[in-house]
A and B are shown apart, each in its own frame.
Chain A
Amino acid sequence: MDRSGDAEAVLDLQPNSSISVAYHPDFGPHDDLLLLELDEKLLPDVLCERVSLRGEPDEEAVFCTHSKTYGIKFVGTSNSVFLIPPTNTLSFPKNAMNVDCDEQKFDKPASISVLKVASGNLELVEVAPRLDKLKLLLLQKPFSIEEVSEMDTYSGSEEHIFVYRWDDLIGRIQASDSELRLGLEALNALEINGFWRILDDKCIDSVLNMLLHNAVLNDWSFDALPENEVVSVMESDGFPSKLSTHCLRVYGSKVDNNDHDGVSLWKLNEKEVCLHFARRILRNGKVKKDKFLVEWNSKIPRGMHTRFEMLEGEVLTERIGVEIWIHAFSVSSLPSTPAERFSILFKERPKWELKDLDPYIRDLKVPGLSSEALLLKYTRRSQPRPDVEPIFSAR
């Protein structure tokens, strides 16, 4: 820690000595100078230039480290906070040293200079990343099946409207690098020719259908799909390797495999594949539950099995007369801020049982607040009798 000049004269003032305090020759509001209070553990990140402020001009800025996002709030003070810089910061001549406390007369007293009176400082509060905008941006122009043929002939000279590179996203999205990557992963986004894209429904349908079709044709087990063969066969069907490996990532997981001569094997995730077909059926709106179950079972690949619990957080059911109807209501389509989330939930359904509500709030991440705390804050709990399930309604 380097101390010099005026600041040093204050901080290292010797016993039985005094120093004159005056306004600096450049004293003024200095609105370009800010005070930022931060945790000691964040100091190395700042001093080694690993942090930035993010957000667009019309948004409140957030402070981002590599892995966390912090809201910034200004905390004012009614005290007078005199800021005294080290002399050489502002190329101001170094003053004489201290003078004895009792000495009343001196020709040129040692003096320190106050550059600014600070009206407060900025404070950091850890917040959840603001990723809702990411989905909106990427959905402006989803990647379509028509673009597949152009993937390998991309020249880079085309006009790019509503598509975003990594650098575009970090300028617009209020999240740290790690959180942004997780957000892209959650949206199943894919980097194509340098731009982050979400595949549209028609495109992902085509890729998955072709993959399942080829698995049957080539007698591949859904539990051990050989990556290089899948990619090769899919390429001959007109699907670039990037799309087929993306499809494997979205609908499957890599198998730990020590005895297949370095061949990468993938296992399809039954739940993800079944969910894909359920969503496809429900795209057209409300369906009778019985009819839906019949159609769902007829659509999924042979060897896979549907279970209604797979649809938790994806659909809602309602009884109309004697019939049960089902419609899509996916947690992934809901906002990530608690107030907006609960507002939409209670518009959809004024009263919720906990078992129905839980899948729709489980993913809410608010630093320092558990799911129980969120329920206390945003809902009203009523339980007419101890033996019945509590009901949650809007506060």
Chain B
Amino acid sequence: MGPIQIKCSCGEKNCQEWAVIELQGVIEAQPEFQNCLQNLEIGQLCRPSSQETYTFTVAYHELTGTKVKLKKPLLVLKKVKHSDESVNSSESSATVELDVIGIIRQKILFKTRPKALITSSKKVLA
């Protein structure tokens, strides 16, 4: 097997930038949506002021975060399999390539615990 080539069709200057939203923990959908998350709304991302601070509202939770420049860029690679039909034999072998399809240089990071937007009302005992 030969080396796996890392290809980049976009060239050095105009590699497409991807975005990342990172938060602590996991967002869990309600049981009835767990197998069909496609198109489901997660929440609302908001930039309340000219500063690089953001809020992310997920249901009744609000997260506060900032835009962070990554110390080292992340490349988004896509594994592509090409099947090589060999001329002499009936066997076909697959060669793998990795295509650079994007770059990530910054992320919006929510590293604090969520704040509850509603609180349960206190019951007054008679």
A contacts, CB < 8 Å to B: 1-4, 6-8, 10-11, 13-27, 31-40, 43-44, 46-49, 51-54, 56-57, 61, 64, 78-86, 88-89, 101, 111-112, 114, 121, 167, 170-171
Contacts and interface: CB of A to CB of B under 8 A. Distances in A.
Given A13-B45, A37-B73, A21 B56 contact: yes
Contacts of B102: 7, 85-86, 89
A46 B15 CA distance: 11
A21 B18 contact: no
Candidate in A10, A19, A51, A86 with the most chain B CB atoms within 10 angstroms: A10
Interface in B5-38: 5-8, 10-27, 37-38
Contact of B72 (A2, A38, A53): A38
A47 B12 contact: yes
B76 A11 contact: no
Contact of A47 (B11, B39, B54, B79): B11
A86 to B, nearest CB: 5
The 10 closest A-B pairs by CB, nearest first: A18-B46, A10-B19, A52-B3, A7-B19, A53-B4, A171-B2, A84-B19, A47-B12, A15-B50, A32-B79
B40 A84 contact: no
Contacts of B75: 35-36, 38, 46
Interface string B53-81: 01010000000000100001111111110
B15 A34 contact: no
A86 B18 contact: yes
Contacts of B18: 7, 83-86, 89
A82 B46 contact: no
B57 to A, nearest CB: 9
Contact of B25 (A26, A37, A40, A79): A79
B47 A47 contact: no
A10 B45 contact: yes
26 contacts: A8-B19, A13-B47, A15-B48, A16-B48, A19-B45, A19-B46, A21-B21, A21-B42, A23-B38, A34-B77, A34-B98, A35-B75, A35-B77, A36-B77, A38-B72, A44-B12, A47-B12, A49-B7, A57-B1, A79-B24, A80-B22, A80-B26, A82-B21, A82-B23, A101-B46, A170-B2
Contact of B47 (A17, A51, A80): A17
A83 B103 CA distance: 11
Contacts of B16: 2-4, 7, 85-86, 88-89
A21 B56 CA distance: 9
Contacts of B104: 35
